[in-house]
Structure 1
Amino acid sequence: MSTPTQAPAPATPSDGEEPTRGRPKVGLKTTVVYALAALVTLFAWVLDTPADARTTFQFGTGGDLFRIPNIPLPALATLVVLLVVMLGATVFSWVRWRARRPVPVWLHVVVGAAFVFSFLTFVGAGRSTVIPMVSLLAGALALSVPLVFGAMSGVICERSGIINIAIEGQLLFGAFAGAVVASAAGSPYLGLVAAPVGGAMVGAALAWFSVSFRVNQIIVGVVLNTLIIGLTGFLFSTVLSDNKALWNSRMPLPEIRIPLLADIPVIGPVLFNQTILVYLMYVLVVGLQFMLFRSRWGLRTRAVGEHPKAADTVGIKVNVRRVWNTILGGAIAGLGGAFFTVGSGLAFGREMSAGQGYIALAAMILGKWNPWGAVMAALLFGFSKNLGNVLSTIGSGVPSELLLMLPYVITILAVAGFVGRVRPPAAEGVPYTKS
């Protein structure tokens, strides 16, 4: 009887050679980005700032629990400190790269905050005006609301395997439905209910063509966007313009101030003195993060987006789940569209979504199909847009056109892959036919 042969022992690395199996692939991209941020700070801002210049920051408002006075900082010294922080982060990321270890997320936050704060310090150096930090952050949050809702819509749909290019149309139709119903009924809250219904209708059309007819999902999304732009534009120029008082009057949602929390300096006026739409956004983000990764619904949703055949073999109805999740995603985007009308106290205007759906799609990609990451990316886009508004208000020397370009530049970099390696769900955009 033959004896079983012993399996050969795994090869061990030679002296001086590191085993690389199991280690994550870590590139130098993060170190290069940190170094570029430090170089821009040095050559564009530090070397161009007078030694005696000061920058004044305003962190308080009249309704705070306790008053924070304006803080004047020596501009050049502040810039040097922030430059040292960025250089230290560059060296730390290089050391992590040498050890084949990823850079922690908190370091990205530190470097980003240092870079933005250095830019604000340079812009306000030697000026009599102050940098209103509360207004800057509050405006950034407000401008991020439709982006967050749109990004959450994209996460739900694309985790299910449906590419949702129609976020732009869902936002716009949600804004239209919210404005018309709120104006006709005389209640902004009824408009808030109608907005997700309008977005769900666009989501249902996307699901119908994508699942039932297996049409290319990108083409369907673009066509739906064009259809909604044309339809709402026609109705705006006819029905809504003929009787503005009935169909298109301003019906703003009231702000709801949360006692005590709204009195906290800086974060209180930003987070806890908002409309119900913003509070719904908080609940949506936390709930979706939990449901997507900690519930049966989330597990099945991710299964049909990654491996629909395997999901089908365990009894999950792949196409049914894709249809309902796409309708749900459309409803969420439609709710975000309500920000443009009842959420902002504005009447409906032609093409008032202004490409925000595409930026929301880029935020989803930048966040790597994760709700928390998508929220951070949406806040980045909102902050960059509001930064141009604030700096033009205080009369900075930076051309406002350059600042208004910033969200779109970030969008291009995101979809071009400069945010690092991103992997969409494996079955995204692939119709499923039960064999």
Structure 2
Amino acid sequence: MSAVTVRSESALRRRNQRFGLFSLLLGAVMLGVFAPGSGGTTARFIMDPTRGVPPIQVMVLPTVVVLGVVVVAVALYQVVKGFGERAVLALGGATLLFVLAFLTWAAAEQSLSMIGLLRSTLFAATPIAFGALAGVLCERAGVINIAIEGQFLAAAFTGAVVGSVTANSWFGLLGGIAAGVLVAAMLAGLSITFKADQIVTGVVLIVFATGLTSFLTSQVLAGSAGLNRPPRFGTWAIPILSDIPVIGPLLFVATPLTFAMLIAVGWLHHALFRTRWGLRLRSVGEKPRAADTVGIPVIATRWKAVLLGGVVAGMGGAWFTLDSVGSFSREMTGGRGFIALAAMLVGRYSPVGAFGAALLFGFATALASALQLLDTGVPSSLLLTIPYIVTIFVVAGLIGRLRAPAADGQPYEKE
């Protein structure tokens, strides 16, 4: 057995143990907190009453106990023996059971709309997914982009102003995209052309965008309400498909930006891993010198990747003012650019993986809002921290050793 194989098996065993201990913690919370605190007898989950789907009613205490026992059993098996390459699936299953137990406990003697919760999850995940996709494009080309928060703010502000002036949300979206591309061009110019430190450049751009949008908000928008009232995108329903029970209102009734996000995830995943363009882009992030020797323009390819990332990030920023709120306010993105970075890392630089992580963080956001409508006894101010707590747990405990593109963050000089 080679040394490489031994190290690989050792790393896999450590990951199984880490995931198993985390699952064991989830099971302990389910049996030690949720079960004793199950004051109600039943919980009622509303599915899709408009399409004839009846609600689901379950007994709270038995459901929580059974799910907790299953999670503990899975955790012990993962710690002792391990699930091998299926460790992530086992962890995902344990987490899903934990969420179901939590929802059952929270909805004791109350009703919870599951279709509403899931729709809110997809809606809240939209900007995070856009930001994560922008990060994937840049990092795969070898450029570290932590300026997503700055791109979000610039695009949100510009989208609000352009949308208000033109009274058209589509023109506002174009303005937001232009702002995202402008910040991306600044990132590319400083980090690729002038070879500045990419992390420092990203921090500077975030500070610049935050300060500039705050100044313009107080000096321009505060004195002219007509510049901060952009029309919002309406909801689209795809004919026939939107009438499918449960799945229809979840996937086929949404705003244009949500549909665009879903299309972008599928297209970018295919383009990155199934096309010549994707191979060339990934090659300049892994082996730029070798890519250059076969005629791939490394500098130009990185510039294009960063600018395309600016387009995607601009769409995510425009979501805040043209899709969600309908006006701009200072630092309204609330750190979602940083959560998008976490989603990119959890997704391991894959568009589909980043989308899955964005759904996790979007669910945390939607759950925080839903729990405020339920009588859980938890202060609403504490509930609002759920998305950030989930981010800390996921990044600190579950990512583990991550392999970034080999040339990520390294400036390239042509010989």
Distance in 2, Cα, partners of 1:433 & 1:144: 38
**Matching residue of 1:403:** 383
- Once the two structures are superposed, what CA deviation does each residue of 1:375-395 show, in whole Å capped at 9, x if it has no partner? 111111111122111111122
The structural deviation recorded for 1:68 is: 1.9
Specify whether residues 112 and 416 from structure 1 end up closer, same or farther in structure 2 by C-alpha distance, changes over 3 A only: closer
Is 1:133 matched with 2:114?
yes
Distance in 2, Cα, partners of 1:249 & 1:284: 28
Q: Which amino acid aligns with 1:326?
A: V
Corresponding residue to 1:332 among 312, 324, 329: 312
Q: Which moved more, 1:289-298 or 1:172-181?
A: 172-181
Corresponding residue to 1:193 among 174, 177, 181: 174
Structure having the higher Rg? 1
**Matching residue of 1:120:** 103
**Matching residue of 1:4:** none
The structural deviation recorded for 1:279 is: 0.6
Distance in 1, Cα, partners of 2:146 & 2:272: 21
Is 1:30 matched with 2:13?
no
The structural deviation recorded for 1:105 is: 4.2
User: TM-score scaled to structure 2, two decimals?
Assistant: 0.93
Secondary structure, counterpart of 1:82 in structure 2: helix
Is 1:202 matched with 2:187?
no
Distance in 2, Cα, partners of 1:22 & 1:84: 31
Specify whether residues 230 and 188 from structure 1 end up closer, same or farther in structure 2 by C-alpha distance, changes over 3 A only: same
**Matching residue of 2:132:** 151
**Matching residue of 2:55:** 70
Specify whether residues 92 and 313 from structure 1 end up closer, same or farther in structure 2 by C-alpha distance, changes over 3 A only: same
Q: Which moved more, 1:283-292 or 1:222-231?
A: 222-231
Q: Which amino acid aligns with 1:302?
A: R
- Once the two structures are superposed, what CA deviation does each residue of 1:93-135 show, in whole Å capped at 9, x if it has no partner? 34652x8x2225443332221100100111122x3x3011111
Q: Which moved more, 1:286-295 or 1:344-353?
A: 344-353
Distance in 1, Cα, partners of 2:32 & 2:392: 25
Distance in 2, Cα, partners of 1:94 & 1:351: 43
Q: Which amino acid aligns with 1:55?
A: A
Specify whether residues 340 and 42 from structure 1 end up closer, same or farther in structure 2 by C-alpha distance, changes over 3 A only: same
Specify whether residues 49 and 413 from structure 1 end up closer, same or farther in structure 2 by C-alpha distance, changes over 3 A only: closer
Corresponding residue to 1:252 among 232, 244, 261: 232
**Is this contact kept in 2: 1:96–1:103, CA < 8 A?**
no
Secondary structure, counterpart of 2:385 in structure 1: helix
**Matching residue of 1:181:** 162
Specify whether residues 279 and 25 from structure 1 end up closer, same or farther in structure 2 by C-alpha distance, changes over 3 A only: same
**Matching residue of 2:273:** 293
Unaligned runs of 5+ in 1: 1-10, 13-18
Secondary structure, counterpart of 1:316 in structure 2: coil
Is 1:357 matched with 2:337?
yes
Q: Which amino acid aligns with 2:11?
A: K
Q: Which moved more, 1:77-86 or 1:201-210?
A: 77-86
Matched pairs, number: 410
Q: Which amino acid aligns with 2:183?
A: V
Is 1:108 matched with 2:88?
no
**Is this contact kept in 2: 1:93–1:103, CA < 8 A?**
no
Is 1:48 matched with 2:48?
no
Distance in 1, Cα, partners of 2:117 & 2:145: 31
**Is this contact kept in 1: 2:49–2:55, CA < 8 A?**
no
**Is this contact kept in 2: 1:251–1:345, CA < 8 A?**
no
Alpha-carbon RMSD across the aligned residues, in angstroms, is 2.0
Distance in 1, Cα, partners of 2:335 & 2:404: 22
Secondary structure, counterpart of 2:372 in structure 1: helix
List 4+ stretches of structure 1 deviating above 4 A: 19-24
Distance in 1, Cα, partners of 2:238 & 2:205: 39
**Is this contact kept in 1: 2:150–2:210, CA < 8 A?**
yes
Q: Which amino acid aligns with 2:45?
A: F
Q: Which moved more, 1:344-353 or 1:330-339?
A: 344-353
Specify whether residues 288 and 29 from structure 1 end up closer, same or farther in structure 2 by C-alpha distance, changes over 3 A only: same
Point out the structure with the larger helix share. Answer: 2
Specify whether residues 71 and 335 from structure 1 end up closer, same or farther in structure 2 by C-alpha distance, changes over 3 A only: same
Is 1:79 matched with 2:64?
yes
**Matching residue of 2:285:** 305
Unaligned runs of 5+ in 2: none
Distance in 2, Cα, partners of 1:86 & 1:280: 36
**Is this contact kept in 1: 2:28–2:72, CA < 8 A?**
no
Distance in 2, Cα, partners of 1:281 & 1:61: 28
Distance in 1, Cα, partners of 2:352 & 2:70: 26
Secondary structure, counterpart of 1:434 in structure 2: coil
**Is this contact kept in 2: 1:253–1:345, CA < 8 A?**
no
Secondary structure, counterpart of 2:11 in structure 1: coil
**Matching residue of 2:78:** 93
**Is this contact kept in 2: 1:61–1:265, CA < 8 A?**
no
